Structure 1
Amino acid sequence: MIFEKPDVLYFLFLLIIPILVHLFQLRKFKTTKFSNVALLERIQLQSRKSSTIKKWLILATRLLGLIFLILAFAKPFIPKSETALQMDEIVIYLDNSFSMELPAKQLTLLEDSKQNLWEQLNQNERFSLFTNDKVWKNVTKNDIKADFFSIKFTPVHLSFENILLKAESMFEDRMSGHNLFLITDGLNFEDKVRLKSKNATDLNLILKSPSTLENFSIASAQLETTNTSKKIQAEIRSYNASNKDVTVSLMDNDELVAKTKANFEEATSTVIKFDLSNRDFKKGILEIEPDGMSYDNKLFFSLSEEKKINIVAINSNGQKSFLASLYDINKFNFQEFQLTEFDYSKISDADLFILNEIDDINPILLSRIKEFRENGGTLVIIPNKNTTPVTFKGLFNTSNIYKSKTSEQREITSINFDHLLFKNVFSEQIQNFDYPSTQMFLEINPSFSPILQYSNGQSFLAEKDRIYSFSSALNTDLSNFTNSPLVVPVFYNIALESNVRPELYSIIGQENKIDIKTNLKKDEILKLVNKSQQVIPQQTKLGNIVQINTQYQPKSRGHYQLKQKDSVLLNLSFNYDRFESDFNPLDLSTVEAKTFSSIPEAFNSFTEERKILELWIWMLIFAIGFFLTELLILRFLK
């Protein structure tokens, strides 16, 4: 038993007063003459015994009444647990990720959670609340009433580790009890670590279970192009195997273009295709019927205008090279010149510039190539048999591109399958490939990233900062590389990488770099604009190339125009990551927390653990009872 006001107990010492009054009470007796006192002595003896018992009973009831009255004012109580006496701080995490849009009984999980939580919070109770994208610290219900019911779904998904770290930073008093309530559906947490607080935080995990996990999503889309057709291929996924047909619509902005059915046939994914050959989709949308979650029912895409890639090659041997046969005239604008007849002004218009076995670089050509590279151009260097380490000095910072020269036969035996040039070229890493060889080679600067390598580990083809350098001449006298199957993907993909067009769409929050050729004036910036907002993406100027990175902006899905003032440079589309669409329920065996199925259950448990049994009312009842007993003794006991 614990007393809320223990100082009141000092009044118990005052009980000595009625005891002293009882022991030393003085009475005056009056003498009366009487003839026969024998009978009176017997009556007097009996009266004195009765009077003594009565006085002791009165003293006992009076003392007990006073004792319980003093105890009542001291307010005794009994705590139900050790935590009942602590000052408590409450931090609440409310999951508002996309999966919280799944249905509860009548509302979505998020709306149902907001209503239940609001009902459990006391009017004047202070608490801290945070979601995946917002924070309210040390507030009451009235402080956040307007913001609370406007909490919306967000693509941000905090890990358990980040949730715990964020909660710990919101507790203010180290000596108080720390209580964290996590309200979530427990889906799609990738953490391998256990859900356990490093500090003495009381974890209360409230798992909201959806009424159904049925959900269909447009997982991805890609463009398939040939010389005669252009199709968009989309993958439609379901969390569970399903035989349900899902209608997929193709929209051009707000105009319906086509519809088709996606049939799963007891599978979890299926692929549908739409022909885009007869239409220019600047603002295309793929859409499926509404279901469990709406964020993955639409996929926005943009098709950039097809422009030919400008390729300029120069050589000094007076003959046409093998390069012309590699580039399709429908996709590339290829021009080849003799060094002696070359107009240097053509370099500035090129996306890819190829130095094909030229003997030497004069100062004017060197200056134009440097300017071309500063503006983001791609350069390919093919040496000839007379090339020395100093031939291309000045093209690559202050270092030479080539080092020592060796005249002996070497086989090209290693392919860097992870390099962009070989993306989607090989279905698997081939081991028994018929590799080409060379009769002479130069050692390439080791700071270049190898793409093709000799058997001794040195590079045959390497790249750095948009410079692709071969270590050997490619004419048939010194190498059989041009007869190898590798020649086509190497030169074809170098050309494609020299003028990379934006993808169909970008994923919000992921790094995506886009190079734009434009001249920006001082303090001028590019903006992403749509109907509802305009944002400024991260951008870097490199000559007449502006590289934008959309990792941090925009944050909302949809179609955007990349604008320079009022001029539209590109149409871009952005979609949310489909991470939330593949449900991954939390493994409760890794959880070291109190687990509840509802918010009222968790808060009732929290309240019960902190209840105290107040005894002052019983003390007051006992005090009144003893005082009444004293009155009854005085009234009826003779």
Structure 2
Amino acid sequence: MIFEKPDVLYFLFLLIIPILIHLFQLRKYRTTKFSNVALLEKIKLQSRKSSTIKKWLVLMTRLLGLAFLILAFSKPYIPNTESALKDTEVAIYMDNSFSMELPGNQVSLLEETKQNLWDQLGEQQKFSLFTNNNSWKHTNKNDIKNDFFNIDFTPVSLGFQTILLKAESMYKDQETSKSLFIITDALNFEDTPDLKTMEGIDLNFIIKEPKSLENFHISSAKLEEKNSNSVLRIEVKSSLSIDKDITVSLYDGSSLIAKARATFKNQLTSNVSFELGDTDFKKGRLELETDGMSYDNTLYFSLNQNDPIRILSLHSKEKDKSSFLSSIYKSDRFNLNVNSITNLDYSKISNTDLIILNEIENFSSILKTNLEKFYRNGGTLVMIPSENTSETTYSNFGMSQAIYLNSNSNKRDITTISYSHPLFTSVFSENIQNFDYPSTSKSLEINPSLSPILKYSNGSSFLAEQDRLYVFSSSLDTRFSNFINSPLVVPVFYNIALQSKSKPLLYSTVGSDESFTVKTILGQDEILQLVSSEQQVIPKQTKLGNTIQINTQYQPEIAGHYELKQKDSTLLDLSFNYNREESDLQALDLGNQNLVKFSTIQEAFNSYTEARKILELWKWMLIFALGFFLLELLILRFLN
């Protein structure tokens, strides 16, 4: 028992007053003898004993009544727990990730959570509230009423450790009793709870279980190009093994183009394909007709009509060194320009995507300076040495070290293909064992710091690459190499050209670190913007000469179709989608954790209130005091 006003207990010394009064009122009886009155003697003795008992009873009731009255004014109480004696601070985490859109009893889990939490909070109760993307410190219901009911789903999700750190930052006083309520569906947590980090925090887990975990979502889409035809392949996933058909619709803007069925025969994945032909989908959209979460029922994509890839082939001899290049780059996707270095217009260099240095023996200082500038600004270079090229011809060209180390006049076979290199993506269906590999009779040793693409039998590189710089070790003249007659020549040069011009992805993921480049000339203080029907944002951008590198890690934050604009001109159409991780619906395993778990918010708050209850005893003390005073009156009135 604890006293709120212990100083009042000093008044217990007042109990000595009724004791003194009682002692002064005690009378000493003196016996007077007279003859043979036995009856009077007996009556006198009984009367004397009754008077003494009455006075002692009055004294006891008076002392107890006064004692309980003093105790009542000292306000004694008994706390349920030690935390009930401290000032309390409450922090509440309300999960508003996409998975909280799953159905509750009547509405979504998030709407159900908001209503239940609002009902449990007191009108003047102080608390801190935070979600995955917002926070309110030391507030009450009146201050956040409008914001509270506008809390919506967000693609952002917090790990358990992040929740704890954020909660700790919201407490004002280190000496207070701290409580944290985590209201979540416990799906797709990045990490599991660690009890060692919870010291000093009364942690309460409120698990909101959805009525159903059934959910279908568009996991991914890929574009496959076959000749002039394009095929869009879509992967649709289910969270449960189920026998069901789902309709997938393809839109271009607001126009419905086609529909297909995704069939699930007790499996988790179904594949759907759409033939796009040569249609230019600037605002393409895929949609599922299903319940569950809505964010993953739509996938935005864009197909931009690409400008031809500009290729500049430079040679130093009069004879044509680009006959094999002309046959490779003959489609409309490429714009090949063949020039001798003797009559080169240097202004063409900055307006080119790929430059092929085809057996150039000597570089003028002007040419070398322009080529190095082109490479630094994001251009792609291919170096094909001539029969007379020495180790110093390309010395330190665009690199901090020599490209070629020494020469070799022996015949060597090219026997190894780096199948994992991006140049050979989708070229080979499997690793070839009995390939008719080409060979060279005269070559240079490439610096081993470059990544090999094609290698000789001794492990040295025939073709190597480093940061958009492709280097051959030998002349491709048929006198020294039969490489241009090999099946490898087409995919190598074709894919070098394709990768020299960064083209935007079919779609990007909001928040992922993805980059692409566009060629344009920006004025002073001019920037590019991403514009949608709802907002316009400025992405991270880096200027490299006439090339602008765009990074979309931080902007935009909302999924949809965007136009990359330079003033009023649209450079590209881009599409962004939310990450599909929330659709996996992986439950957090709390079985091995010694956590306080509740199934409802009301249950958690009732437990919180009960643990902080204080049993106040002053009322009982006052009742006992009045009872003893009443008993004293009854004794004085009726006990003779």
Establish whether residue 549 from structure 1 lines up as the match of residue 561 from structure 2.
no
Give the equivalent residue in structure 2 for 1:504.
506
State which drifts further: 409-418 or 150-159. 409-418
Q: 1:330 aligns to what?
A: 332
Q: Which residue of 2 aligns with 1:364?
A: 366
Alignment of 1:213-362 (within 5 A): 213-277=213-277, 279-316=279-316, 318-321=319-322, 322-340=324-342, 342-362=344-364
Task: Judge conservation of contact 1:196–1:592 (CA < 8 Å) in 2.
Answer: no
* Compared CA separation, residues 445 and 56, structure 1 to 2 (3 A): same
Q: Which runs of 5+ in 1 are unaligned?
A: none
With normalisation by structure 1, the TM-score equals: 0.93
Q: Residue 305 and residue 247 in structure 1: after superposition, are their counterparts in 2 closer, same or farther (change >3 A)?
A: same
Q: Alignment partner for residue 599 of structure 2, among 582, 597, 600?
A: 597
Structure 1 residue aligned with 2:137: 137
Higher mean C-alpha deviation, range 367-376 or range 61-70: 367-376
Q: Given the superposition, is the C-alpha separation of residues 161 and 484 from structure 1 closer, same or farther in structure 2, using an over 3 Å criterion?
A: farther
The equivalent of 1:389 in structure 2 is 391
CA distance in 1, matches of 2:201, 2:428: 53
Contact 1:376 1:544 in 2 (8 A): no
Deviation at 1:137, TM superposition (A): 1.2
Q: Match of 1:151?
A: 151
1:183·1:208 contact (CA, 8 Å) conserved in 2?
A: yes
Q: Is the 8 A contact 1:438 1:479 kept in 2?
A: yes
CA distance in 2, matches of 1:243, 1:191: 32
Q: Deviations over 1:578-613 (max 9, x none)?
A: 111121111122433111111111111112222222
Contact 2:228–2:278 (8 Å) recurs in 1: no
Match of 2:589 among 570, 587, 590: 587
Structure 1 contact 562–569 (Cα < 8 Å) conserved: yes
Secondary structure (helix, strand or coil) at the match of 2:597 reads: strand
- Provide the secondary structure at the position in 2 that maps to 1:524: coil
CA-CA distance at 1:23 after TM superposition: 1.2
- Comparing 96-105 with 436-445, which one deviates more in the overlay? 436-445
Decide which moves more: 620-629 or 275-284: 275-284
CA drift at 1:430: 6.0
* Alignment partners' CA distance in 1, 2:280 and 2:497: 24
Instruction: Call closer, same or farther: CA 1:237–1:587 in 2, change over 3 Å.
Output: same
- Tell me how far 1:58 sits from its aligned partner: 0.2
Deviates more, 1:457-466 or 1:500-509: 457-466
* Deviations 1:130-179, CA, capped at 9 Å, x for gaps: 11101111111112111111101000011112112212222222222221
CA contact (8 A) 1:196 1:593 kept: no
Q: Secondary structure at the match of 2:70?
A: helix
Pairing 1:563–2:561 present: no
Aligned-pair CA distance for 1:529 = 0.7
- For residue 401 of structure 1, the aligned residue among 382, 400, 403 is 403
Whole-Å separation in 1 of the counterparts to 2:417 and 2:123: 68
Q: Is the 8 A contact 1:8 1:74 kept in 2?
A: yes
CA shift for structure 1 position 550: 0.8
SS at match of 1:183: strand
1:35-62 Cα distance to aligned partner (Å, 9 max, x none): 9987665544332221111110000001
Call closer, same or farther: CA 1:493–1:192 in 2, change over 3 Å: farther
SS at match of 1:236: strand
Aligned-partner Cα distance in 2 for 1:610–1:126? 15
Does 1:48 pair with 2:48? yes
- Partners in 2 of 1:213 and 1:276 — Cα distance? 34
Range with greater deviation from structure 2 (365-374 or 219-228) = 365-374
Matched, 1:188 2:188: yes
Question: Does the CA contact (< 8 Å) of 1:195 and 1:590 recur in 2?
Answer: no
Q: How big is the shift at 1:366?
A: 1.9
The answer on whether the counterparts of 1:301 and 1:573 sit within 8 Å (CA) in structure 2 is yes
Residue 121 of structure 1 corresponds to 121
TM superposition shift of 1:462 = 2.8
2 CA distance for matches of 1:198 and 1:458?
A: 57
How far apart, CA to CA, are the structure 1 residues paired with 2:158 and 2:440?
54
SS of corresponding position for 1:264: strand
C-alpha displacement at 1:241, in angstroms? 2.3
**Are the equivalent residues in 1 in contact too, given 2:77–2:614 (CA < 8 A)?**
yes
Q: Secondary structure at the match of 1:244?
A: strand
TM-score (norm 2): 0.93
Partner Cα separation in structure 2 for residue 428 and residue 13 of structure 1? 101
Distance across 2 between alignment mates of 1:228 and 1:524: 37
Q: Hey, what's the Cα distance between the residues in 1 that align with 2:70 and 2:411?
A: 108
| Alignment partner, residue 2 of structure 2 | 2
Q: Which amino acid aligns with 1:229?
A: N
Partner of 1:164: 164
Q: Which shows bigger deviation, 64-73 or 237-246?
A: 237-246
Q: 1:405 to 1:168 in 2, by over 3 A?
A: farther
Change over 3 Å in CA distance of 1:193–1:186 after alignment to 2: closer
Counterpart in the other structure of 1:539: 541
Could you report, residue by residue, the CA deviation over 1:160-212 in whole angstroms, capped at 9, with x for unpaired residues?
12112212222222222221111111111232664653433222111111111
C-alpha contact (below 8 Å) 1:104/1:211 kept by paired residues: yes
Q: 2:67 aligned with 1:63, yes or no?
A: no
- Counterparts of 2:163 and 2:549, CA distance in 1: 34
> In structure 2, what residue type is equivalent to 1:166?
K
* Alpha carbons 1:69, 1:623 under 8 Å: kept: yes
Structure 2 unmatched runs, 5+:
none
Matched, 1:465 2:463: no
Paired with 1:410 and 1:166, the residues of 2 have a C-alpha distance of 63
1:204 match: 204
174 and 419 in structure 1: CA distance in 2 versus 1, 3 angstrom threshold: farther
Choose 346-355 or 181-190, whichever is displaced more: 346-355
Q: CA deviation at 1:470?
A: 2.0
Distance 1:387 1:235, change over 3 A: same
CA distance in 1, matches of 2:270, 2:15: 89
Find the aligned partners of 1:49 and 1:524 in 2 and give their Cα distance.
113
Where 1:24 maps in the other structure, the secondary structure is helix
Which of 557-566 and 409-418 deviates more?
409-418
Residue identity in the other structure for 2:219: A
8 A contact 1:197–1:203 mirrored in 2:
no
608, 613, 626: which one aligns with 1:611 = 613
Secondary structure of the 1:257 match is strand
Once the two structures are superposed, the pairs formed by residues 174-185 of structure 1 within 5 Å of their partners are 174-185=174-185
- 2:104 alignment partner in structure 1: 104
Distance 1:25 1:467, change over 3 A: same
Shift of 1:387: 1.6
- Could you tell me whether the CA contact under 8 Å between 1:194 and 1:590 is conserved in 2? no
Q: Which residue in 1 is equivalent to 2:13?
A: 13
Q: Is the 8 A contact 1:96 1:152 kept in 2?
A: yes
Structure 2 Cα separation of the partners of residues 618 and 489 of structure 1: 94
Name the count of aligned residue pairs. 638
Q: 1:10 to 1:467 in 2, by over 3 A?
A: same
Q: Using the TM superposition, name which of 72-81 and 431-440 deviates more.
A: 431-440
CA distance in 1, matches of 2:154, 2:574: 21
CA distance in 1, matches of 2:111, 2:127: 20
1:196 and 1:591 in contact (8 A); partners too: no
